[in-house]
Amino acid sequence: MSPETVERLVHESLEQGITTFDHADIYGDHSNEEVFGRVLKHEPALRVNMELVTKCGIKFSSDKRPPVRVKHYDTTKAHIIWSAENSLKQLNTDYLDVLLIHRPDPLTDPEEVAEAFEILRESGKVLYFGVSNFTPSQFRMLQHYLSFPLVTNQIEISLSRIDPILNGDLDVLMEYEVSPMSWSPLGGGHLTIGEREMFGMASKYNASYSQLALAWLLKHPSQIFPVIGTTKPERIAECAKAVDVQLDRQDWFEMLRWVTGKEVA
């Protein structure tokens, strides 16, 4: 996408009250941060009105990075610090609001991660830290080694992926008073719900199917933050209005029944 297109999407998001922008060092074959950074270079005043989130820890073969033999994870102290500093350069900013470990690394040394986080925090380069795709036990383990709280776990949650609501993932985050971020909150645009069921509920709330799906997530007491992935300004405006759809409790459970195929016991 051109910087002009990204700039238009940024302005539309801010106008709709969406101020957090989610990135990762690997998105777009390592180009995502650079493209967004051109917008901030062109309009640096936008930075004070937004929060920047990015992720690190995944390495794969790319012309834009040193060669690797196999795709792997790297959560060493040196790589986390290098990744954060590189993201700062790419995004044209002096600080990151939130840095996430992108995937749980089987070789993670939590003390190394904690040291890296402390260095970045004390230098003012990163304000807050979190994780992505971590299980509850992995979240607890890393939190144990930190002197400050993790602020989120970005996981897949949607009407097409309800496991985190039922298996304890969200329970642990509420235990730590941490709000999850939901990636693919619309199921990648492929919600497996019948047209007739969705039409009836949409008519009742005067809402689109996407707004209903987002409202279903927003109803959860863990205070889920959906990460929408659209590149169309009109879709940003549509999704933003999901906060105005206040599902009642029975409708929430009816939507749960749609995706599970059965009522609660």
Point out the least confidently predicted range of 2-6, 40-44, 80-84.
2-6
Is 101 domain-assigned? yes
Q: For residues 3-20, give the mean pLDDT.
A: 94
Kindly state whether residues 85 and 11 are assigned to the same domain: yes
Q: With contact defined as beta carbons under 8 Å apart, do 111 and 75 qualify? A: no
Q: Give the per-residue pLDDT at 43.
A: 95
Of 99, 128, 151, the domain-final residue: 151
- pTM for the full predicted model: 0.95
Kindly state whether residues 9 and 86 are assigned to the same domain: yes
Nearest C-alpha neighbor of 116 from the set 143, 94, 84: 84
Kindly state whether residues 73 and 192 are assigned to the same domain: no
Q: What is the DSSP letter of 31?
A: T
State the average pLDDT for the chain. Answer: 95
pLDDT above 90 covers a percentage of the chain that reads 90
Kindly state whether residues 189 and 96 are assigned to the same domain: no
- Would you place residue 110 in the very low, low, confident or very high pLDDT band (cuts 50, 70, 90)? very high
- Would you place residue 192 in the very low, low, confident or very high pLDDT band (cuts 50, 70, 90)? low
Kindly state whether residues 205 and 263 are assigned to the same domain: yes
Of 151, 166, 199, the domain-final residue: 151
Count of structural domains within the chain: 2
Q: Give the per-residue pLDDT at 232.
A: 92
- Name the H helices within the chain: 3-15, 27-30, 32-42, 77-91, 110-122, 136-144, 163-166, 169-175, 195-205, 209-218, 233-240, 249-260
Q: How far apart are CA 215 and CA 197, in angstroms?
A: 16
Q: Give the per-residue pLDDT at 190.
A: 67
**Where do we find the tokens 């230098």?**
123
Of 151, 173, 204, the domain-final residue: 151
Point out the least confidently predicted range of 159-163, 194-198, 214-218.
194-198
Kindly state whether residues 109 and 211 are assigned to the same domain: no
* Residues 23, 58, 48: CA angle, nearest 5 degrees: 20
How crowded is residue 3: how many other Cβ atoms within 10 Å of its Cβ? 16
Is 179 domain-assigned? no
- The parent domain of residue 79 ranges over 3-151
CA 120 to chain centre: 21
Is 205 a known active-site residue?
no
Kindly state whether residues 219 and 136 are assigned to the same domain: no
- SS3 for 224-240 is CEEECCCCCHHHHHHHH
Q: What is the CATH number of the domain that holds 34?
A: 3.20.20.100
From 27, 95, 176, 205, the catalytic residue? 27
Phi (first) and psi of residue 231, to 5 degrees: -115, 20
Kindly state whether residues 143 and 255 are assigned to the same domain: no
Q: With contact defined as beta carbons under 8 Å apart, do 238 and 211 qualify? A: yes
Kindly state whether residues 192 and 107 are assigned to the same domain: no
pLDDT at 194 over 80: no
pLDDT at 196 over 80: no
